[in-house]
Structure 1
Amino acid sequence: MFILPSFQSLKIFESAARLASFTKAADELGISQGAVSQHIKNLEVRAGFEVFERTGRRVILTSSGQVLLDAVKHGLGHIQQTIEVEKRKKQTNEIVISSQPGFAIRWLLPRIMAFNQAHPKLKISVNTVTSPLDFSLYHAQAGLYYGSKEIKEGETAKLFDEHLIPVCSAKFAEQHKLQPPLNKKQLEKLVNLPLLGDLSPVPPPFDDTWSYWAKAVGIDLSLDHIDRQSQSNITLQLAELGHGIAIGRTSLVMDAIQAGSLIALTQAEVKNPCYYQLVSNPAMPKNKALNSFAAWLEVQLKEISEFKLLI
């Protein structure tokens, strides 16, 4: 009868394979290099094949070792996920929310203190991740989805309405003689200035938020020279630093406009075709903390829909 290698041996194997070094694996795990070598040797004896080729100080996976590593990663990952899910089920006064970095940094996190004050017995943590609904990777009770497609499993419908707004720093506007609010003719000349974009989702057939906004206001912009970043918060940070003009969403720029670090260039209201939903993790039951957060969020988000530009 085949007996599986010990959990410790598999964990040591994963570390040595990932670091390509017995010495580094020993340092990471707090054991001796000799102990690592012995566990790997026992693993190879138990498995019936070599998992590493030894080449000086480096170790390289054999083809069989790579197959085993893939299985070990899957197995350990599944074990970790199961533990996290079951642990969260017991923690009814704790909540983890996943959100894309832009919304988390520019709207949610500045308001978390208000949630803590309203609910002192609850504990909330926010994951800032690019894929907030990847619950297998990020063990959260819920994620804040942003996109143009409705998630049927969403805890809520669309959370709020907001608009797309071209913004820049006051210094940039002064340097380029921009005096808001710009009229249509002036907006068409923006193509001659540095434009900042990102990879935020937009509905087809549009390539990015700039193209959607330009179509909505009825102007023709050549968008070939847009400096695109991976995330909206990076784009808006560059705009605040005077690097160019960005298309902001109300939720992401309202605080900066009120603080004066960004100014809106037009009062033309272009409704954002994408929206946010609060989506619960189907593997976890709803708890008191999630219900309280959802109720608090609904109230707080009203300020986004009610925000008015004063130019």
Structure 2
Amino acid sequence: MQTPRRFLPSIASLRALESLDRLGSATAVADELNLTQSAVSRQLQTLEAQLGVSLIIRDRKVMRLTEAAADYAASVREALQQITQASLKVQVNPEGGSLNLAILPTFGMRWLVPRLADFAKRHPEITINMATRLSPFNFGTQPFDAAIHFGHAEWPGTGNLRLKPEHVVPVCAPQVLERTTIAHPRDLLALQLLHIETRPYAWAQWFATYGVDAQGLQGTLYDQFSTITQAAIHGLGVALLPDYLVEQDLATGRLVVAYGGPTRSLGSYYLVWPLEKARNASLQVFRDWLATQAEDEDALPR
């Protein structure tokens, strides 16, 4: 069934509406779209005429969207993002498939990317497009086919493949331990503890494995592993980091283990995908290949 033309406005008109909702003024819209304000106004008038409804509240020289138009603009924004991604897919790989993948920056660079050469060799027809995301998001509003996620298999409306459990180890610069003796895990409480934003309870969990009650811990907070690792290397305190991340720094002596050895954290790394994309051919190929790379006793999709 062919969709009536009045329900398929021009891209130019839709871009003008979306930009006005996001930027808040016709002047800003004109600058972003490289148009005159009169041209922007005509685009919006054309859209209103085509839909047969009023979308813009015009108060002297100020324009703002009606409540219904703002909701419409949000849906338009998502549709424009999907069109952009679809256009990019066909442009960069017109002969094959592609996969838009959200990755955690450190795990993606240290664990996934070194393995992708094998995937590219086996499946040159599939292009993997990657962007970093530090926390879970809504697949409905983000243009991703799948994501690398840390935590538990609790992302609603998705399937998942467990890739690797996380093991952590407390590390610091050698000079930090020159000033103190660590004979028991509780001795670390006397040192400056470095915390990572994505693992707010990591230290408390680590101490609990040794029977140490350590609630309400103080210390400094970092948002990425790259910065907290550098802080530890420069002697700012003790960081609890994934073992795969600090292997090289431990080998070169830039970091040393503050106490004990690697212990398993309460989370794992997963590939997750929205259920509605489970039959995506490129995703199925990537998922099956990634299952061969998984470092887990139960690496089957669930």
Q: Give the TM-score normalised by the residue count of structure 1.
A: 0.73
Q: 1:196 aligns with which of 173, 194, 197?
A: 194
Separation in 1, partners of 2:261, 2:8: 66
Aligned pair in 2 of structure 1 residues 17, 54: CA closer, same or farther (>3 Å)?
A: farther
Separation in 1, partners of 2:138, 2:69: 25
Q: 1:291 aligns with which of 279, 285, 289?
A: 285
Task: Give the paired residue count.
Answer: 285
Deviation at 1:144, TM superposition (A): 1.8
- The match for 1:306 is none
Deviation at 1:102, TM superposition (A): 3.5
Q: Does the 8 Å CA contact 1:9/1:39 hold for their aligned counterparts? A: yes
Separation in 2, partners of 1:72, 1:94: 28
Aligned pair in 2 of structure 1 residues 232, 82: CA closer, same or farther (>3 Å)?
A: same
Aligned pair in 2 of structure 1 residues 141, 18: CA closer, same or farther (>3 Å)?
A: closer
Separation in 1, partners of 2:222, 2:148: 21
Q: Which amino acid aligns with 2:220?
A: D
- The match for 1:204 is none
1:260-275 aligned at under 5 Å gives the runs: 260-275=253-268
1:163-202 aligned at under 5 Å gives the runs: 163-174=167-178, 177-178=179-180, 182-184=182-184, 187-200=185-198
Deviation at 1:253, TM superposition (A): 2.8
1:181-207 Cα offsets, whole Å, 9 max, x none, are x431xx323222221112335xxxxx6
Q: Are positions 1:6 and 2:9 aligned together?
A: yes
Separation in 2, partners of 1:212, 1:72: 44
Aligned pair in 2 of structure 1 residues 44, 138: CA closer, same or farther (>3 Å)?
A: closer
Gaps of 5+ in 2: 297-302
Separation in 2, partners of 1:13, 1:140: 24
- The match for 2:269 is 276
Q: Which amino acid aligns with 1:212?
A: Q
Gaps of 5+ in 1: 202-206, 303-311
Aligned pair in 2 of structure 1 residues 235, 37: CA closer, same or farther (>3 Å)?
A: same
Separation in 2, partners of 1:178, 1:30: 63
Q: Are positions 1:249 and 2:250 aligned together?
A: no
Q: Which amino acid aligns with 1:160?
A: K
Q: Which amino acid aligns with 2:276?
A: A
Aligned pair in 2 of structure 1 residues 54, 262: CA closer, same or farther (>3 Å)?
A: farther
Q: Quick check: which one's strand share is greater? A: 2
Q: Does the 8 Å CA contact 1:133/1:279 hold for their aligned counterparts? A: no
Q: Which amino acid aligns with 1:287?
A: A
1:128-147 Cα offsets, whole Å, 9 max, x none, are 11345633233333222211
Q: Give the TM-score normalised by the residue count of structure 2.
A: 0.74
Q: Does the 8 Å CA contact 2:25/2:64 hold for their aligned counterparts? A: no
